[in-house]
Structure 1
Amino acid sequence: MKKFQETLMKDLGWKLLSIGIATIMWFMVININQPVDTRTYSKYITLDNMEVLTDRGLTARNAEDIAATKVNIKIKAQRTSLDRLNQSNDWLQVSVDFSGLKNAMAGDTVSLPVKVEMLGGYSGYTIVSKAPANIQVSIERLASKELPIEITLNGELPKNALYSAPVLSANTVWVKGPASSVERVIAVRGMINAQDVQGDVQLNAKLVPYDSHGTQVKGVKLGTSEVTVIYGALGLKSIPIKVNISGTPADGFEFGETTCTPQTIEVVANPEILKDFIYLQLPDIDISGSGATLRKSFAVADYLPEGIAIKDGSSPTIQVNVQVLAANSREIVVRSNQLTVLKGVSGMSYEISGSAKVVITGEETLINNIDESTLTGTVDVSGLSVGHHKVPITLNLADGITAGYAYIDVAISQEADASDSES
């Protein structure tokens, strides 16, 4: 035994040094074959237990920003173990838990820890750090409102193409989120590319909430993210006007001429519907007992069949004049050079063109003595804008003579500035 102790203690320093060197070499071999490394992984935050707020009519005003925050996680393990981790990060979960906000109130700002978990039973890994480690949550009242859905066209449809108003799968949408964000939303719009509208077509439009400046509002949710938009190709047709006259005028009067202004209307509809639409029938006009010319106005839309509409820019009304002439009457022709403009506006140019037939009535001697070439009259252009108009004629007639309704063409344009003329 004594001999063993002497042998053990002999050259003890060298023996301890040998053990130390062997230990170091062992660690070196391990680190060469199984080195320890640290790698950084990134993951977006998941919001857990948000119902703790929403069930009480609250929400996180910055929830969208939190969900868009990418957390950088440093994980330490042997290199071979790190190599086995799936780079898709489906084994890594990063979340913020709202369950601790049961007593939070609107207006509060709370700091919540970022929770990092490794799923799938991984072992031998150490989470060294996470950045950010905490998230600030701003609590606000939850609000909602319903808005109509607007569809806008990106680009222009071909000029010769006609389409029905778009039919949407939903006409309104609910906007929900923090009260301050919901209040900013004044419109929800979906955009359709004009080049995609060809023939009868069904398209999808993604909905986006906008504020009064036309800027997209972040942080709100829409009840539906997109709608289906249906466009129907339309046909165009020019339709004549038809009106029937009934009854007998008063004694000493007779039925004259019936005129419609305009004489035709342009309508749009599905080509199959237009195929059977031949003319527009207006209600009958009864002249029983009448001793003067009748003038009736009809709203076109009231008499169009279902599914047919007036083309944009067409007259929405039809004026019908039914002449009821006295036995002593005479038809005269009034030309443009006999008329002057009344109530014109400075800076505008007025051109009267063509001629018009006017029926005058009165004592036989008076109307027979009229020289129609010397007659004068006016056209009242007050309230008329630039363009072509049919304007009523007012003749300067002697007492005892009356004139029926008559119209003449007047073209109105903007006068060029003097400087423009010189250039």
Structure 2
Amino acid sequence: MANKKKHHMDHNKLELAKHLANQSKRISSQYDRFVQKIIHFIHYASTGIDRVLFNAKYAKVVSLVLAALLYVVVNYNDITSLYKTSLKTSRTVQNVAVYVQYDTQEYEISGIPTTTDVTITGDATSVTAASTTNGKVVADLTNLTEGTHAVTLIAEGFGDSVNTIVNPSNAVVTIKKKVTQQFAISYDIIHRDKMDGIYNVGTPQFASSVVNIRASQDTLNQIAFVKALIDVSNQVADFEQDAKLVAYDANGQIVNVDIEPQTMHVYVPVTSPNKTVPIEVKIKGTPGDNQAVASAVADKQTVTIYGTESALLDVDKITVEVDVSNLTKDTTVSQDITLPTGITSANVSTISVEVKFGAGTTKTISGVPINYKNNVHNYKATQSDNITTMDVEVFGTQDNISKINENDIYLYIDMSTAEPGLHEFEVKVEQPTTGLVKYSLKNNKLTLTVLGDQNTQQKEGE
């Protein structure tokens, strides 16, 4: 049994050896074929190169290629340097903040620009990265004393892989010791257009009437006034706020100083003074086709106005003018209300006026007395024909002129520029406020003898 097993194992080993021998022969055969192909390719390539190199037909081409290769080898460093240079780029970052390294609490620094431009140069990637960093420009004054100095501005924070150029790169700096001085404060109301016009701002009450300002004496001497800027945006009642303080010179330009405190607490009263007054429609212009205005009636008879107390006292009515030039037919006119000075708002901004026309006619009113106005020197005036009255023509609709008599008409001579002697004067007539009728004079000239002491006049004018 044991001999049988041994015989079987020897047989297997023999078979394995035969298999390995066959595999080795196949590999050796394949390797020989591969080597033959390589030798054949080299032989073919060598033959091709020989045909080109040693063929007169290709001599010039070969010479050119060899010359180019020789040039590249000899100038390799210059070419690579040129390649690298061509990849460099630059970018200018504008308005880069300038930081001052000095004791600005105790000293005033002038002459340093607030911003500069920085040009960054390097490869494109580095320049892009540097231009997006928080770089800055520094003016280092730490070793300087009071006086005027020339300093160099240095760019920092842009990285070591780029070059930087600051523009401007230099500044003439003046260093002065700061001193403290007290100033009284006044105020300005700002954003008044953002506050409803029906409201009025009263007198502000400040926590303190003075502030301390630190600057050089030369700068302090430039300050004309210090103002608290009170913002009234959307305020409808009394309010309090911390108002910003600003120093100005005599021309209204801001003076850059240290104000202590920078804001001032203020209480501001807000009121809404108002008054209701009548609306008066006044006719302006002359209708066409011998027409006259029969009536002009507004859709609103009164208006409530808002403003300061003093402004309200001066207003007893609101006049709205309606131009009827060349109109001949009844119409309704929309007219804006114009507010007098000091009046900030009204509850009515526009009114509609219904205008009606009628046939125009004229009547003459006789014996209207002549008055003298502005006789500041108390002159006496005489007229050779003793004319003291004039006839006045009244034009309008029949209904309107029938209501007019001599007591409604005022004739006058303006004596404000009169001098003693014989002079011709113009007689003027005051037109009615409504404009529904119009007055005119056929003859509006009158010769008067003015009596008075001219020397007295001159003394009064001195």
Q: Return the structure number with greater helix share.
A: 2
TM-score normalised by structure 2 residue count: 0.40
| TM-score between both structures, scaled by the size of structure 1 | 0.43
